[in-house]
Amino acid sequence: MYSVTRNRETIYAEYIFNYHPDFKDNIEKWYDRYLPYHIEGGDVLNLNDHILAVGISQRTEAGAIDQLAKNCFKPVLDESSNSLSSIFFKIFAVFSADAPNSFKA
């Protein structure tokens, strides 16, 4: 997370996804709290089952969206057709007016 103070909040999710019997070994993580770029859940919008929109802002870096896209587009085995496909088809990165100065030309 962008704020060091709020970074502790992701510890709860980590423990729930790693140890709760409903989630342990039953979900695929597309982004990890230990990756070097920041991403905030409020900047991510599921448009439908196969399309994500992610805002680039002060709290979500372009590098985080790149990593998220790489993870989402990894081929997975579709057992019904025995072929490889990805979970998502499109990820839109949306630039925000309050994005960090590093995005200015």
pLDDT of 69-101, one tens digit each? 888 877 766 677 766 666 667 766 776 555 555
Residue 4, class by beta-carbon neighbours within 10 Å (0-12 exposed, 13-18 middle, 19+ buried)? exposed
* Per-residue pLDDT at 19: 93
Q: Where residue 21 falls among pLDDT bands split at 50, 70, 90?
A: very high
User: What values do phi and psi take at 66, rounded to 5?
Assistant: -60, -45
* Per-residue pLDDT at 77: 65
Over residues 26-34, the mean pLDDT reads 81
* Per-residue pLDDT at 20: 94
pLDDT at 53 over 70: yes
* Per-residue pLDDT at 87: 64
Distance CA 45, CA 92 (A): 10
